[in-house]
Amino acid sequence: MVASELQLPITKGQLWTGRIMSGLGVAFLLMDGVMKLFKPAPVREAFARLGYPEGKIVAIGVLLLICTALYLIPRASIFGAILLTGFLGGQSRLMCGSAIRCYRTCSFQRTSRRCCGWDFICARPGCGRSFR
């Protein structure tokens, strides 16, 4: 069998749901990455509160933008989703390891980021459909 014969047909509703979910997730990730490049006061304050040096802000922003760009390329979207899962998992661990978050918030962040990250990739047409 050819790989295209194994894929289930995608309805218009599924197509647009996947596009909207991916678009929202990518928009938030791009905004986060770009804000780290410009280093406004709230970003610098958050990094200081978490104990990270200000010099790491741009590097983390560039890393986030690279992972997001890989996610946007259809042939590399699964690799990009894996990298984003690792990036957001590390971010969740950082937030949970600090004294400024409570357990309930951390559990929600960890679960929602990991589930939503993979929902984005599974809902995109033609990308990762074999995982369902």
Identify whether the C-beta of residue 18 lies closer than 8 Å to the C-beta of residue 123.
yes
- Considering the domain boundaries, does residue 35 fall inside one? yes
Intra-chain end-to-end CA distance of the chain, in Å? 18
Tokens (6 digits) for 67? 């992972």
Provide the domain count of the chain: 1
- Considering the domain boundaries, does residue 132 fall inside one? no
Dihedral angle over CA of 29, 35, 39, 44, nearest 10: -60
Q: Identify the band that residue 132 occupies on the pLDDT scale cut at 50, 70 and 90.
A: very low
The pLDDT of residue 64 is: 94
- Considering the domain boundaries, does residue 101 fall inside one? yes
Long-range contacts (CB closer than 8 Å, 24 or more residues apart) made by 36-43: 36/60, 36/61, 36/64, 37/61, 37/62, 37/65
Q: Which domain holds residue 102?
A: 13-126
- Considering the domain boundaries, does residue 119 fall inside one? yes
Over the stretch 67-110, which tens digit does the pLDDT of each residue have?
999 999 989 999 999 999 988 887 766 666 665 554 445 555 55
The pLDDT of residue 51 is: 82
Percent of the chain with pLDDT over 90: 41
The pLDDT of residue 20 is: 93
- Considering the domain boundaries, does residue 2 fall inside one? no
- Considering the domain boundaries, does residue 97 fall inside one? yes
